[in-house]
C-alpha cells in the first residue's frame, strides 16, 4: 500500500491541551518529509508567520496531496488550506483524501490543481484581495503550484475555458487598466470640450435681454439682480432671466456644460483611459470542472482496474 504510515505533523506552538499523539511535533516546515500524502497543522498566533510557513510548505512538489490545517486562520490561509484544525474532522478528511490518493495510479504526474481539487471535493479555488498588489486580486493556490505563471487570473480563465475548472460563484467584478492591468484607478470628471480636470460646478443665470450667461454671483448688485453686461434689472424668473441647465464651468477653456465627462487615470502607470475602454475582470470562486473531474476519476478508475 502506498501510504502505510500516518504522516502527521504539527508545526510551531503546541496548544494547551495537546490532543493527538499521532502528530509529530516539529519546529520548522523544513523538517516535514518530501513525500506524497500526509497531514500538517501549522500553529502560529502570528498571521505573517503562518503565511510564510504555508508558502514554504508548498514549495515542494506533491504538497497538493496533503491535508493542511492551521490553528489561527488568515485571509491567505483560507485560500490555500483545509481550514482551522479540528482533530475529528481532520482525521475523517484525511481518510477520504488517502482513499482517493491510493486509487490514483499515476499520482506523481497529475496536474497539481486537478490533484488538489480531486482528492478533496470540499476544496475551492479562492481569490484573495490584497491592496498592496497592483492587480488587487489573485488566486494564491495557483501562485503556489505554478510560481512562474505571469497572471493567476489568466491561468484560471484558460483552465475554465478548457473545462478543468468551473465557476461556482462571482466574488467581485473589477475594472483594470488596459495598459498595465492595474486595478488602482482614479475616476475623475473632466471638461467634455478640452478634457481639463480643472472644472467647477456653478449656479449660472441667463439674461434674456442680451443673452449673457454667467455665475449668479456676478449678477448680484446691491441686493438685486442685474445683468453685468447690459445692466438690465432682472426681476422675474422666466420673464427677464432663467437658470441654464449648464451648471458646470471649465476653468481652462471657459466652456459651460451640463454633464462632465469621466475618464480614468491609472495610478500605477499614469495612463489616461476612457472608462468604456477599461478591461472588466470577473473574479469567481471555482471548483473542479467536468474535464477536471474526468481526468481525476479516470485515473482512479484505471487504478481500480489494474488492482
CB of 230 to Zn ion, least distance (A): 3
**Residue 205 binds Zn ion (CB under 5 A):** no
**Residue 178 binds Zn ion (CB under 5 A):** no
Stretch that binds Zn ion, among 78-86, 135-143, 155-163, 254-262 (CB under 5 A): 254-262
- Beta-carbon-side half-sphere exposure of residue 137 (alpha carbons within 13 Å): 20
Which SS3 state, helix, strand or coil, does residue 15 take?
Answer: coil
What residues from 99 to 158 belong to the interface with Zn ion (CB under 5 A)?
A: none
**Residue 165 binds Zn ion (CB under 5 A):** no
Closest CA to 283 of 186, 171, 184, 141: 171
Please name every residue paired with 214 in a beta bridge, in sequence order, or none if there are none. Answer: 205
Closest CA to 125 of 64, 197, 177, 72: 64
**Residue 179 binds Zn ion (CB under 5 A):** yes
Strands 248-250, 199-201: pairing kind: antiparallel
CB of 127 to Zn ion, least distance (A): 20
Task: Pick one of 91, 174, 180, 263: the residue that binds Zn ion (CB under 5 A).
Answer: 180
Identify whether the C-beta of residue 255 lies closer than 8 Å to the C-beta of residue 191. Answer: yes
**Residue 194 binds Zn ion (CB under 5 A):** yes
Task: Pick one of 230, 237, 258, 301: the residue that binds Zn ion (CB under 5 A).
Answer: 230
CB of 234 to Zn ion, least distance (A): 8
Closest CA to 83 of 123, 141, 114: 123
d(CA 289, CA 180): 30
**Residue 275 binds Zn ion (CB under 5 A):** no
Report the b/e string of 157-195 with b at 16+ CB within 10 A. Answer: bebbeeebbbbeeebeebbbbeeebbbbbeeeebbbeee
Stretch that binds Zn ion, among 74-82, 132-140, 258-266, 295-303 (CB under 5 A): 258-266
Nearer CB in complex with Zn ion: 32/199: 199
Stretch that binds Zn ion, among 38-46, 102-110, 152-160, 227-235 (CB under 5 A): 227-235
**Residue 193 binds Zn ion (CB under 5 A):** yes
Residues that bind Zn ion (CB under 5 A): 177, 179-180, 182, 191, 193-194, 196, 207, 209-210, 212, 227, 229-230, 250, 252-253, 255, 266, 268-269, 271
Amino acid at each position: 500500500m502506498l501510504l502505510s504510515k500516518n504522516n502527521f505533523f504539527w508545526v510551531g506552538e503546541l496548544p494547551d491541551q495537546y490532543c493527538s499523539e499521532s502528530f509529530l511535533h516539529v519546529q520548522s516546515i523544513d523538517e516535514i518529509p518530501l513525500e506524497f500524502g500526509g497531514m500538517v497543522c501549522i500553529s502560529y498566533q502570528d498571521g505573517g508567520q503562518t503565511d510564510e510557513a504555508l508558502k514554504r510548505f508548498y514549495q515542494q512538489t506533491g504538497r497538493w496531496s496533503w491535508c493542511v490545517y492551521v490553528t489561527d486562520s488568515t485571509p491567505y490561509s483560507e485560500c490555500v488550506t483545509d481550514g482551522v484544525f479540528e482533530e475529528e474532522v481532520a482525521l475523517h478528511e484525511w481518510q477520504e483524501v488517502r482513499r482517493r490518493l491510493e486509487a490514483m495510479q499515476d499520482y506523481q504526474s497529475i496536474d497539481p490543481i486537478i490533484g488538489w481539487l480531486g482528492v478533496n471535493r470540499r476544496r475551492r479555488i479562492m481569490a484573495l484581495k490584497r491592496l498592496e498588489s497592483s492587480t488587487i486580486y489573485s488566486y494564491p493556490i495557483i501562485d503556489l503550484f505554478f510560481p512562474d505563471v505571469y497572471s493567476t487570473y489568466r491561468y484560471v480563465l484558460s483552465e475554465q475555458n478548457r473545462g478543468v475548472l468551473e465557476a461556482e460563484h462571482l466574488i467581485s467584478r473589477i475594472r483594470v487598466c488596459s495598459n498595465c492591468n492595474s486595478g488602482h484607478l482614479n475616476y475623475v470628471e473632466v471638461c467634455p470640450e478640452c478634457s481639463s480636470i480643472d472644472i467647477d460646478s456653478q449656479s449660472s443665470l441667463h439674461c434674456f435681454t442680451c443673452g449673457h450667461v454667467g455665475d449668479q454671483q456676478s449678477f448680484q448688485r446691491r441686493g438685486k439682480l442685474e445683468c453685468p453686461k447690459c445692466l438690465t434689472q432682472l426681476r422675474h424668473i422666466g420673464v427677464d432671466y432663467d437658470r441654464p441647465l449648464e451648471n458646470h464651468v471649465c476653468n481652462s477653456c471657459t466652456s459651460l456644460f451640463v454633464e462632465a465627462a469621466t475618464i480614468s487615470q491609472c495610478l500605477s502607470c499614469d495612463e489616461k483611459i476612457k472608462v468604456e475602454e477599461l478591461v472588466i475582470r470577473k473574479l469567481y470562486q471555482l471548483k473542479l470542472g467536468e474535464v477536471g473531474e474526468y481526468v481525476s476519476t479516470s485515473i482512479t478508475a484505471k487504478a481500480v482496474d489494474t488492482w
